[in-house]
Structure 1
């Protein structure tokens, strides 16, 4: 398959959009790292650029001159095969390189990639380029949620932008979608891009079940809080109950009780809680406890995928009851790219769908996102099953 102008356009569009996401930031915002899970915006800009330099330009361009010899150490994320790197929790200590130099790095690598396209067109390069593009799209989602955490933990609660809308609502009646018991096929099967963790299409047996056509709303979660949901140990896993008490968890992330009214921090600043909006920024622990309290449960990722044609999705990453595990006949890629997904298949839960932070042309119904059960800085919500 030859590299085409449309793929080059896709690459350039992706590169430009990352920088568009940073335009509302002040220069001081670029280096902040409030917690280990959140990376500074400057680091995202550099890391997504390093990915193309490391995996494509250094391999396919004879006598390629790297931009800066320190950048592999600074912007490598977790690739043991590549070598040493800055400890993740220290990314916020990188006052240097400057933001200006990181943008110069982006321009340098983007120009080198355009030059490469003009002389080298082969299938292996095409495949690497697709991975690189979607890798940057993953970081666009992380960039937005990291920016929200950075600003949402600033005592002034500044707004990011009025242009970003995170208030989807589902203005229709809640219904239960019935799915018959039977054997269903799971996994990616088209020729379009997917990650390796979606491959190994296989059959699963499902008992008859029903799944909600709507996500759980803020209003429903307020009812859970007011019913003492965070105080009832029998709703929580043992590890989750320790998490609630050790961290004094009383509500979803970014919720604030002001004068007896719930408010939440949004990318548009602090606002009164929109009760019809799907709840977001909850952990798997909280999603499970809410399901227990409501008398229902979370769907497995296989139940979700089988029923996904019957409800709209993509407003919230949806927690499932499935552990993140390899599909049958899963094959890890050789070398550093083999570290992309497989090494994380332990102690994590699968999320399905996408969110308001997910960029265009990125998610699909077989996409398997995954996070540890206590994390909630992503746009995570839940859909009930029974």
Structure 2
């Protein structure tokens, strides 16, 4: 059971995720938005459209029975199950301008569906779940955008909240291993969690053996050595 949240809260979540998405792609040119064909990343122009498609498919189409504003083209381009990874560079994709317009149009359409936007107006339990589901999916893709930028050696993006970390003293890699003692560990989400994914059902206890782990993520220099 998903905890009902306000319509204003859902819109704020959507807008926050969208700001981050746009920050990660706005500075890239047409060549960078496609990139080389690699198994580990998607062409970003395809991936941006897929984010919009996910919202439209699960909320507008599956939940409310509406048609895609792209018609049959939506499934042909952006269904990540049906469209194999290696073909995504060769598709007749929308231009980046058309893709961003599709993304904004879908968001506007879904916000309109929520009705009055206020912290007092609770969305239905169904909407509370599916809208957050869409937002968390977009959040996961912003991680993929960062991963792609790192993999393809694109410039460091300028993020709104990055200035919060500028005063942090720079430090190098942390050498050595940290020892983690074993024991009982509770994994998963409880049945009364305000939101949970299917693969988090439900909290249960596991036994973890003692292990060691690097004190920090491996750097590119360490990996190349």
Scaled by the length of structure 2, the TM-score of the pair is: 0.76
Distance 2:157 2:46 in 1: 24
State which of 3, 7, 15 in structure 2 corresponds to 1:4: 7
- Whether the 8 Å contact between 1:52 and 1:109 is mirrored in structure 2 is yes
Q: State the secondary structure of the residue aligned to 2:42.
A: coil
Q: Greater relative contact order (Cα 8 A, min sep 6): structure 1 or 2?
A: 2
Q: State the secondary structure of the residue aligned to 2:205.
A: strand
- Whether the 8 Å contact between 2:24 and 2:157 is mirrored in structure 1 is no
What does residue range 256-335 of structure 1 map to in structure 2 within 5 Å?
A: none
Distance 1:215 1:197 in 2: 27
- Whether the 8 Å contact between 2:180 and 2:213 is mirrored in structure 1 is no
Task: Give the gaps of 5 or more residues in structure 2.
Answer: 117-121, 163-169
State which of 86, 91, 94 in structure 1 corresponds to 2:91: 94
Scaled by the length of structure 1, the TM-score of the pair is: 0.47
1:162 to partner: Cα distance: 6.2
Task: Give the gaps of 5 or more residues in structure 1.
Answer: 79-84, 153-158, 223-251, 256-261, 263-386
Corresponding position: 1:127 with 2:129: yes
Distance 1:214 1:161 in 2: 24
Structure 1 or 2: more helix by fraction: 2
**1:107-153 superposed Cα distances (whole Å, 9 cap, x missing partner):** 1101101101116931011111111111111111112212333x33x
State which of 21, 43, 59 in structure 2 corresponds to 1:56: 59
Q: State the secondary structure of the residue aligned to 1:184.
A: strand
- Whether the 8 Å contact between 2:17 and 2:139 is mirrored in structure 1 is yes
Distance 1:162 1:182 in 2: 40
Structure 1 or 2: more strand by fraction: 1
Give the number of the structure whose alpha-carbon radius of gyration is greater. 1
Q: Which moved more, 1:10-19 or 1:115-124?
A: 115-124
Q: State the secondary structure of the residue aligned to 2:89.
A: helix
**Aligned positions, number:** 207
- Whether the 8 Å contact between 1:33 and 1:39 is mirrored in structure 2 is no
Corresponding position: 1:161 with 2:166: no
1:10 to partner: Cα distance: 0.8
In structure 2, what is the equivalent of residue 187 of structure 1?
Answer: 188
Distance 1:212 1:200 in 2: 27
